[in-house]
């Protein structure tokens, strides 16, 4: 089977499912998904326009005040949905512009290769014009003259849908010269990646876009100062950009109110769940919804299985325990528990699953996806895999747990060139913290086994 056919089959087999019926989704409470149809069909331009599509762009162009867009986004405090939570408005306020600084690029990060994550895919496959509308607003705010959607190569359905939507937007006057009769010009190209996780890191993405090897770049300079082809560039996640139209149309106060008194972070979020639960899928819920509510919406664990641990937002976040299900899933609360909100899509682990085998699987992924630049990541991650493989086979040696702790610490924050290594370290460190005895059982020497336990 050719590589491209395998990719297409994958894309068809795994659907990104929104679990809330149309009747439950309203414009004032579900800004990301209220336009989606129950049949899962694409909301093309005509339907999108009927459902208030591109009204935020019309409003912003009529007001012709990029600074106002930035300050509304800053007040709304839309935390970056690519996993870091950095305020989109703040990022936009730091982009170099004005004077003799050339107009730059607006890049939509649609690489979505974080294991357990399938939220951007839903937005792109079913509502491509919301992505485009968010990009136009960001371009206006950042004075970008051209945009790129950097799309994960395997997302063939999203590629097809986005291509047609870009054509529709051009034909409808929402892209190209003099958008909606204004003097603002902006167009977007779709760029499909070759399927490497590191391409999601924003500076590696820029290198890849330029046709170079996808190694992360040194920061500073940040992309907002010097990004693609040396020009000021803004990189935002798909879901982050999809928040902008609602904020610009309805204001920062409305956005902040969406999360009620659950959390200080405003807005709604595409939360999701996978693993052995009854109904894996996605929901648009207020920011700060608890893990317990999401698990409940998924119908609980499959066939009454017992939950052992869970990852709150992808493979590069830290394991949490069943008692953490009552916590608000926001950036600060999850951070305080030694993990990260990440992408906000939970992966559930049952009592029967081996933590050693699971972590080995994750570290194999991270080791394979290292760009190879920094020693702790390039050499350390394959070493953790070797140790974890031995432990999984019950052939571990005395000192293996300490060795894993050392290798993970070497990959910690500020030890390597990008956040790939700290992301790889987090599930390992938290699994060792919470389930040390499981790792100790993989050591063949009985005396040490007793001590470690
Ligand atoms: C190894 C690695 C992979 C990443 N992959 C993605 C990705 O697929 N999508 C994404 O939006 N951000 C990804 N990020 C985060 C980006 O570097 C960047 O912070 C993000 O696109 C900024 O957008 P936001 O502020 O809207 O979240 C990744 C980071 C790292 C270190
Ligand atoms: S941490 Fe890993 S992925 Fe990031 S630059 Fe270093 S070697 Fe590359």
pLDDT in tens, 124-181: 999 999 999 999 999 999 999 999 999 999 999 999 999 999 999 999 999 999 999 9
Q: pLDDT tens, 52-89?
A: 999 999 999 999 899 999 999 999 999 999 999 999 99
Asked whether 237 lines ligand 1 (CB < 6 A), one says yes
Q: Which of 156, 124, 120 is nearest to 2 (CA)?
A: 156
Task: Indicate whether 336 and 408 sit together in one domain.
Answer: no
Residue 449 has a pLDDT of: 52
What's the average model confidence in pLDDT over 311-318? 98
Q: Which of 97, 251, 108, 117 is nearest to 188 (CA)?
A: 108
Q: Report phi then psi at 346, rounded to 5.
A: -80, 145
Q: For residue 83, how far is its CA from the centre of ligand 1 (angstroms)?
A: 6
Task: Indicate whether 364 and 311 sit together in one domain.
Answer: no
Atom of ligand 2 nearest to the CA of 216: 5
What sign for the dihedral angle of Cα 362, 367, 371, 376? positive
Edge-first strand order for the sheet with 268-275 is 281-286, 268-275, 345-350, 307-311
Structure tokens belonging to residue 269: 């979020």
Q: Which of 267, 275, 228 is nearest to 85 (CA)?
A: 267
Average pLDDT, the chain: 94
The CATH number of the domain holding residue 291 is 3.10.20.600
Alpha-carbon gap, residue 241 to 247, rounded angstroms: 10
Q: Which of 241, 230, 239, 224 is nearest to 188 (CA)?
A: 241
The answer to whether the CB of 158 falls within 8 A of the CB of 121 is yes
Task: Indicate whether 227 and 359 sit together in one domain.
Answer: no
Q: pLDDT tens, 186-203?
A: 999 999 998 899 999 999
Residue 328 lies inside a defined structural domain of this protein: yes
Q: What is the DSSP string of 224-243?
A: TTS-GGGS-EEEEEHHHHHH
Residue 452 has a pLDDT of: 55
Structure tokens belonging to residue 186: 């902006």
Structural domain for 408, as ranges: 355-452
Residue 194 has a pLDDT of: 87
Asked whether 357 lines ligand 1 (CB < 6 A), one says no
Task: Indicate whether 243 and 272 sit together in one domain.
Answer: no
Asked whether 84 lines ligand 1 (CB < 6 A), one says yes
Structure tokens belonging to residue 81: 């949905």
Residue at a domain's end among 316, 350, 384: 350
- Of the listed ranges 331-335, 341-345, 350-354, 443-447, the least confidently predicted one is 443-447
Task: Indicate whether 54 and 119 sit together in one domain.
Answer: yes
Task: Indicate whether 232 and 380 sit together in one domain.
Answer: no
- In testing the pocket of ligand 2, which one of 213, 316, 372 has its CB within 8 Å of the most ligand atoms? 372
Residue at a domain's end among 350, 381, 406: 350
- Count up the domains in the chain and report the number: 3
SS3 (DSSP) at 355: helix
Q: Which ligand is nearest to the CA of 109?
A: 1
Task: Indicate whether 378 and 335 sit together in one domain.
Answer: no
Q: For residue 234, how far is its CA from the centre of ligand 1 (angstroms)?
A: 12
Asked whether 331 lines ligand 1 (CB < 6 A), one says no
Task: Indicate whether 342 and 363 sit together in one domain.
Answer: no
Task: Indicate whether 237 and 359 sit together in one domain.
Answer: no
Alpha-carbon gap, residue 252 to 71, rounded angstroms: 9
Q: For residue 299, how far is its CA from the centre of ligand 1 (angstroms)?
A: 30
Residue at a domain's end among 331, 350, 369: 350
């Amino acid at each position: 089977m050719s590589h491209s056919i395998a990719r297409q089959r994958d894309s068809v087999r795994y659907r990104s499912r929104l679990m809330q019926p149309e009747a439950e989704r309203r414009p004032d409470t579900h800004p990301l998904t209220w336009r989606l149809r129950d049949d899962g069909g694409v909301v093309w331009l005509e339907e999108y326009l009927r459902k208030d599509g591109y009204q935020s762009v019309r409003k912003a162009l009529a007001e012709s005040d990029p600074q106002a867009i930035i300050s509304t986004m800053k007040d709304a405090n839309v935390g970056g949905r690519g996993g870091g939570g950095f305020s989109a408005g703040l990022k936009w306020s730091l982009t170099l512009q004005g004077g003799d600084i050339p107009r730059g690029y607006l890049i939509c990060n649609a690489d979505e290769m974080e294991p357990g994550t399938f939220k951007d895919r839903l937005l792109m496959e079913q509502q491509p014009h919301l992505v485009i509308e968010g990009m136009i607003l960001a371009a206006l705010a950042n004075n970008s003259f051209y945009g790129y959607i950097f799309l994960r190569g395997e997302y063939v359905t999203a590629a097809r849908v986005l291509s047609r939507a870009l054509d529709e937007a051009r034909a409808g006057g929402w892209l190209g010269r003099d958008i909606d009769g204004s003097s603002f010009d902006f167009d977007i190209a779709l760029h499909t990646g070759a399927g490497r996780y590191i391409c999601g890191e924003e500076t590696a993405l820029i290198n890849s876009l330029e046709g170079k090897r996808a190694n992360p770049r040194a920061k500073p300079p940040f992309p907002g100062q010097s990004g693609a082809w040396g020009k000021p560039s803004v990189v935002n996640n798909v879901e982050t950009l999809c928040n902008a139209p609602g904020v610009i149309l309805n204001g920062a106060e409305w956005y902040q109110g969406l999360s009620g008194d659950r959390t200080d972070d405003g807005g709604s979020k595409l939360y999701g769940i996978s693993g052995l639960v009854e109904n894996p899928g996605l929901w648009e819920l207020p920011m700060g919804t608890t893990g317990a509510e999401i698990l409940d919406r998924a119908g609980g664990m499959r066939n009454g299985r017992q939950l052992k641990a869970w990852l709150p937002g992808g493979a590069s976040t830290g394991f949490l325990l069943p008692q953490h299900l009552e916590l608000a899933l926001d950036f600060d609360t999850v951070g305080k528990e030694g993990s990260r909100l990440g992408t906000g899509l939970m992966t559930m682990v049952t009592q029967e699953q081996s933590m050693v085998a699971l972590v080995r699987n994750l570290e194999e992924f991270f080791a394979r996806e290292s760009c190879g630049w920094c020693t702790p990541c390039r050499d350390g991650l394959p070493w953790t895999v070797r140790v974890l493989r031995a432990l999984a086979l019950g052939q571990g040696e005395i000192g293996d747990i300490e060795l894993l702790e050392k290798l993970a610490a070497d990959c910690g924050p500020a030890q390597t060139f990008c956040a790939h290594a700290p992301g790889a370290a987090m599930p390992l460190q938290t699994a060792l913290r919470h389930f040390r005895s499981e790792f100790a059982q993989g050591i063949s020497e009985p005396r040490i086994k007793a001590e470690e336990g």
